[in-house]
Every structure is written in C-alpha cells, then in structure tokens.
Structure 1
C-alpha cells in the first residue's frame, strides 16, 4: 500500500520555500518537488526523485533556473555503486546509495527510512552524492545520522557533515519537520 503526501517547508537557508509531492510504499520513495530561493541569487528548482527498494536512490532529475541561465542534471545510480551525472561516470561514489540535493529537506528522508532512525536507536555514517544548488555540481559528502530519541512530533536525529551539525526532527513517517538552520515544515 502506498501513501501520498504533499509537504511544504519554509527554507530559511535559501530565503525561500519548497513543496514536494511524495509517494511511499514497499520500501520505495518517489517525489517531485519545486522550490524557490533567493540565496545566493534568485532561482527556481524543479526535481524528480525515484528510489528503488530500501529507499536507495535510482535517479534524481533537477532543473535550476536563474536570471542568467537554466541548468539541468540527470543523476543516476545503477544500484551497484556506479553513479553518472548527465551520462558521465562519477568516480569516488562507490559507497554512496543516496543523493542529497542541497537546501532540500526531502532528501534527508531516504537514509532515515532505510535505517529506521525515525523509530529507534542507531547511528549510520554514509557517503552521499551531494548536489549543490543552484550550481548543480555533484561531490561526495560523508554524513552521519544518529537517533537521539523521541521528539515532539516524531524523532530527533543528529545530522553531521564535516563541521556542520544539527538536531533534525522527523515525523513518524520519516520526513523532516524541523531542520534548524535549514528548513521548517509548514502545517
């Protein structure tokens, strides 16, 4: 059985908003989202995300429009450690199973759902295919997710990447409710 939801966040880090239409079921997440930001420059983002079983990223298609140009990215994971960006092989991502779209609270969902970190104890250090916004460059990013306990609306999970750290609140379905410094979901 699949569940459909529409989620909207105030994305303070970009000076904008994001809305995602999501469908989850059978260990798979599909989402399409739209965002507007003003930092570092005004832009629009559109994305489509598809995962395979276990919430493992299969494909992320992104378009960013700024006053000066339009950029696109077709990021694909073959399920066996191989990643491509617009058809070109990406070295250095062999251990990555997730993408992480910059300034997008939705893409924190996959590792949390896969490892049940919105339901109980655990810690995972994971390599992500991190996509910058609005430039759409892809680079490897090590991230650690640690379950901290029950929260007001679900669970609190510590997120660490390099020197950045935040205590993120997820709802019972594994979607970001409050990500201090990045985004807060609107009711």
Structure 2
C-alpha cells in the first residue's frame, strides 16, 4: 500500500489517494476536496489488471454526477450506471480522471518506457463538470516520453507537463496543477 496526498496549484484543493498492488493488478482509490477552481469534491476507484490496463472506474462528485464504467482490457468499454456499450471509447486502455493526477500512473506502468523512449496512448478522459456540460468520458490522445528514471513528459491537446514520479509511478510533482504533500 502506498499513500499519496496532493494539493492543487491554487492551494484550495486537496486529495488523498491509496495505491494497492498485487499479482492480479492494482487499485487506486481516492477522495478529493475542492477540485481545482471549484468547491466540488468527489471520490474515485480505479481497478487495473496485471498489465495496468483499466478494467473498472467509479467516479462520483459530491454535487451528484456519477460514472461507473467497465473495460475488458482490450479497448471495449461499458457504462454500468446506464447500461450499454460505449463505442466512443473503443481502443482506450487507460482512464484519465480530470480530478486527479493518480491516473497518470496507469500508462506509465503499462508502457514500461526506457529513458528516451516515448509512446502515444488513447485514454478515456473523464473531465471535470466545468469543462463540459455533462460528466462523461471521451477519448483523448496522450503522449508520454520518459526523460529520466523518474521524469516523464505528458502531452495532450496542446498541453505539456513534465511529471516527477515516485518508485510506484505516482506523481510527485505536476507543474501548474498539483504538488505532492
């Protein structure tokens, strides 16, 4: 078990995250109070298999919206809250929660990049409600480059950040967004 706590860049939000790993895979669970520029809070549970492919996601906001998704590890997703397949997310092996830096752990572990290597992934991005009218997942291309043993460059939609990670691949520093406590 590894515990991580982050504060957002504006100093108003805080997150507590627990990472549990075993031979079957990993589980990220966390709670967030004050999500970036909002007063909202929430909690999440992300379950991944032994290859760090997302298999299940539960994300809830204190304001009410909730998502419960399941993936087969090969890019096919289902909505467990409303039923039915989610073809829009076809090919996504990772989830990216807008409320947390914890989900960067999944592609970093899964890709196993050597220093100097890079790779592109397709993630099921779950944005903050303020970013879109509805709390729902959408596909997002993301690019990871391993710069040093503990430093990765994350790039997506014109945004770039160099992420320092710990031995469990949990973010230590996410410039302009999160700082590990």
Note whether the superposition's TM-score is higher than 0.5: yes
- Counterpart position of 2:157: 162
- Structure 1 pair 12/132, CA: closer, same or farther in 2 (3 Å)? same
Q: Structure 1 residues 39 and 113 mapped into 2: Cα distance closer, same or farther (>3 Å)?
A: closer
Q: Deviations over 1:48-70 (max 9, x none)?
A: 1111120100001011013xxx1
In the other structure, the counterpart of 1:174 is 169
Residue from 1, 8, 12 that aligns with 2:9: 12
SS in 2 for 1:114: helix
- Give the SS at the match of 2:74: coil
Runs of 4 or more, structure 1, over 6 Å off, are none
* Structure 1 or 2: more strand by fraction: 1
Q: C-alpha distance in 1, partners of 2:137/2:88?
A: 11
Contact 1:75 1:84 in 2 (8 A): yes
| TM-aligned CA distance change 1:8 to 1:37, over 3 Å | same
Name the Cα RMSD after superposition. 1.8
Please point out which of 71, 82, 93 is paired with 1:77: 71
* Comparing 102-111 and 14-23, the one that deviates more: 14-23
Residues paired across the two proteins, number: 175
Gaps spanning 5+ residues in structure 1: where? none
User: Corresponding residue for 2:29?
Assistant: 32
Q: Quickly say closer, same or farther: Cα 1:14–1:159, change in 2 above 3 A.
A: farther
Q: 1:140 — aligned with what? A: 139
TM-score normalised by L of structure 2: 0.89
Unaligned runs of 5+ in 2: none
Q: Distance in 2 between matches of 1:172 and 1:120?
A: 15
